[in-house]
Amino acid sequence: MVGFVSLTLSFHLKVVMVHLRNLLENMVEEEETLKTRLMSNVETYGEELMNLCKELALPPHEVSCKQQQKTLLFILLSYSENRGLEK
């Protein structure tokens, strides 16, 4: 590198690495928060569905674990795609 003393270059590389690490940690925290909120919403809406079935005198609507996984994956992928378009 022309014009950079190795000590200066080393310092700048460390600053960049710290910045990248912080960005990645923030991204992981945000995704974990979103996952927690999503799981909470799934539980809440499942309870609401059960209550509606009772009120309407319908048989309980049961969703298999596999179907829940598919639905969650679809929601996450849709969210990721929409979020990518926003940026």
Residues 32-61 have a mean pLDDT of: 86
3-state secondary structure at position 59: coil
- Whether 1 maps to a domain, the answer reads no
20 pLDDT higher than 90:
yes
43 pLDDT higher than 80:
yes
- Whether 73 maps to a domain, the answer reads yes
Confidence tier at 21 by pLDDT (50, 70, 90): very high
46 pLDDT higher than 80:
yes
Residues 71-83 have a mean pLDDT of: 78
Please give the angle made by the CA atoms of 49, 53 and 59, to the nearest 5 degrees.
120
- Confidence (pTM): 0.55
Q: What domain count does the chain have?
A: 1
- Whether 72 maps to a domain, the answer reads yes
- Whether 20 maps to a domain, the answer reads yes
85 pLDDT higher than 60:
no
Q: Which domain holds residue 34?
A: 6-86
